[in-house]
A and B are shown apart, each in its own frame.
Chain A
Amino acid sequence: MYHLPDKNGYFGNFGGRFIPETLMPALKELEDAYRTLKEDKDFKKELDYYLKNYAGRPTPLYFARNLSERFKGARIFLKREDLLHTGAHKINNTLGQVLLAKKMGKKRIIAETGAGQHGVATATACAVLGLECVVYMGRKDMERQRVNILKMKLLGAEVRVVDSGSRTLKDAINEAIRDWVTNVRTTYYCLGSVVGPHPYPVMVRDFQSIIGHETRQQIKEIAGRMPDILIACVGGGSNAIGFFYPFLDTKVKLLGVEAGGLGLYSGKHSATLAKGKIGVLHGTMSFVLQDKDGQIMPTHSIAPGLDYPGVGPEHAYLKTSKRVNYTHCRDRDAIHAFKILSETEGIIPALESAHAVYVGICEAKKMSDDNISIINLSGRGDKDLGIMEGVE
């Protein structure tokens, strides 16, 4: 049986809490509150209510017949997280965390965002649950995700521009941590992925694992059996962990797809598990894209949500324990898959999810129609039309 993390927040050699002392009491408070509330019937009932009636769960498991027939391989199913309110899986986590924060008596929520999806999902949860929301976003990301900034503002959030470092997601996290260190007594930090210090990786995984739990039940109803392979994209890795986690104890093949950018030897990618070294970033021990002096390297991906030099510690563990395989997909292949899925199925995927779609197609081609492959379609592509316009 899989029982990780341990009580100190470690998945094997990965995880832990590498943060300033100021935050340590807050992390312990959070851990205690989470441990109590996750077993609390009223909390679960309230979260289920919002997930069902507000976010739109369960999401369908859709048989992509046209896509499957086109490539004459495995039967491809899509887990439709793109149909959720706010357009991606991020809302599973933010509803959970913001509700938790409210129960803890916190009045002010802070969050970081890269693509803007987690920012929008946090602002949304804060709007419906009535809490103050501040979102940190790098200036570079603000320039490429203008619509999401407008959304966050409409939802009542304050968006703070981050001008330090590379002015992208990692710097937005730095700034959110600095805010948290300063306002720790009143503020709750709603982290958007399975990264950061314990208990974030386990907590975000638990909130996201509804994706895998539903998938397991749905495929059993549809096909009467387990799938052969699951495929998901990995930036920080929250949609992938949520999708994979309920299958870790099975024999189902699990495949994570990192952002290969312009290729792994170009130096312009975000393939942390493939090319990173073990280190500490944002409070957790994991693989990190860094130079020989341990300075964090700039990353690149056409998908802003994958553009991050770290990765969740549980993925680092699952890679080294070989339970999950990890591969990568380049920008141009993701663009290709983005178009194919739009044309064949009438579904415009997020560029992040398109990475998983591309690898999903490649894997399906190696199999026959006796096989079942499920791709986690973590988000929809409306937000990426501007980027695609630039590509044309």
Chain B
Amino acid sequence: MSRIAGVFKNLAERNESALITYITAGYPGIESSIDYIRTLARYADMIEIGIPFSDPIADGRTIQYSSYCALKNGISISKIFGMIEPLNLGKPIIFMSYLNPIIAFGVEKFFKKMKAAGTSGLIVPDLVIEESGILRDSAQRYAIDLIYLIAPTSDEKRIKMIGEISEGFVYCVSVTGTTGARERLPADLFSFVKKVKSIVKKPVVVGFGISDTDQIKALSRFVDGVVIGSRLIEIIQNREDLNLYLKKFKEATIRSCVSGHL
């Protein structure tokens, strides 16, 4: 069992969904982002760390901006490995990277370093299963979970195929659109994630657009985890108390004994 799968198993036994928190590496500064990662690890079940790219087509304004700042700060994949390696967070680390920086770094070398740094999974937002060959063998060699996304536009056949190929969990994109906190999630989200749950045998995680505890609470009834990203970047931008928010977000993933429905 992979480390990520182990976390889901433990959480299921405790009747909780996973809180997965995203931050862009190198934002707001190289040193400060290390501190923020430590803070996230205090509350989250898994940490997703974004490797900045100059042309992030799947990201909305917030992560475009944090990526831009991080690159201005001089962040690079080598530096990110240097940051992560000594951390010893005790929580699985998942990288989020567009394909091009990985190719430029060298695919084989990238996974080798991921393993050496103790990271567990990789999400590539511009990689669909049809093109998975470019990373698959190296990822397997170094036992890194390659996590694929399912979109509201994916039909049942694709959901099934992605569910079979994806490792660790499947990442359900809540909306047709880019990342970014949204006040309301789409009305058909719950029927969409229920459909995915009924087809996919692996843990199902929902991300994109999640911004508050009510959304996390509502989603946690149906899914195995939620990703919160842009909202956290906003909290950091606004210099609000990150600890306070994270505590509430994690509490919202704990399913209450009182059964309820939406």
Contact = CB atoms under 8 A, between A and B. Distances in A.
B54 A18 contact: no
Contacts of B99: 18, 280
A371 B155 CA distance: 57
A56 interface: no
Given A165-B54, A170-B55, A294 B154 contact: no
B247 to A, nearest CB: 32
A25 B176 contact: no
A277 B131 contact: no
A20 B57 contact: yes
B126 interface: yes
A288 B53 CA distance: 14
B125 interface: yes
Interface residues of A, number: 38
Among B54, B149, B151, B154: residue with most chain A CB under 10 A: B54
Contact of B53 (A19, A21, A292, A295): A295
Among A17, A23, A280: residue with most chain B CB under 10 A: A280
A112 B130 CA distance: 26
B148 interface: yes
Interface residues of B, number: 41
B102 A21 contact: no
Given A21-B148, A177-B57, A294 B103 contact: yes
A290 B104 contact: yes
B77 interface: yes
B104 A294 contact: yes
Given A19-B128, A292-B104, A174 B154 contact: no
A342 interface: no
Contacts of B178: 178, 181-182
Given A21-B173, A296-B55, A280 B103 contact: yes
Given A18-B131, A164-B64, A170-B55, A25 B104 contact: no
B189 to A, nearest CB: 14
Interface in B159-195: 162, 173, 175-178
Contact of B101 (A25, A26, A170, A293): A293
Interface in B99-115: 99-105
A88 B158 CA distance: 41
Q: Is the interface of A mostly helix, strand, loop or mixed?
A: mixed
Given A16-B131, A174-B57, A281-B55, A26 B104 contact: no
A281 B53 CA distance: 11
A165 B128 contact: no
Contact of A24 (B76, B105, B154, B175): B154
Given A21-B173, A24-B128, A178-B178, A184 B100 contact: no
Given A8-B130, A25-B158, A277-B104, 18 more contacts: A20-B149, A23-B153, A24-B151, A165-B54, A174-B55, A177-B57, A182-B175, A185-B153, A185-B176, A279-B103, A280-B103, A282-B57, A283-B126, A293-B76, A294-B100, A294-B103, A294-B104, A295-B101
Interface of B: 53-58, 60, 64, 68, 71, 76-77, 98-105, 125-128, 130-131, 148-155, 158, 162, 173, 175-178
Interface of A: 8, 16-26, 164-165, 170-171, 174, 177-178, 181-185, 277-283, 288, 290, 292-296
